[in-house]
Amino acid sequence: MAEAPSPAKARPLSPHLSIYKPMLSMMMSIVHRITGVGLYYGMIILAWWLMSAAIGPNPYSNVQAFANNVFGKLILFGFTWALMHHLLGGIRHLVWDIGYGFEPNEREMLTWATLIGGIALTILVWVIGFLVVGL
């Protein structure tokens, strides 16, 4: 019968977050996953909006009341940022899948472009929304 390994012969642990120094691309990968989860739950709001529009004016006015208060706008702004960030993160991964952007300076540039681009696109969408629709 095989014996359990002694502590001196125990196998080493795999490296994990407490071993590695956090890099921006590592953090953006984690944020990409978090925004994916946020988009999943944000679809509940989108489904609520679509169903209320199909049901009639009273349910739709409830959704509009939610969307027009400060809390609702904050959630919608966060949803917009998650959508833009996740979109640009997906494009970054597509560039990597094609085989480009693996050099350290290219990787950092793509990461910063994702971060800054997600914020810029979110602000642009909301500015256009305020100018065109009058949110």
- Mark the binding-site residues for heme, compressed into ranges: 86
State CA 42 to chain mean position distance: 11
The token duo for 82 is 């998650």
Task: Count CA atoms within 13 Å of residue 127 on its CB side.
Answer: 6
State CA 117 to chain mean position distance: 13
- Enter the DSSP assignment of 19: T
Binding-site residue numbers are 86
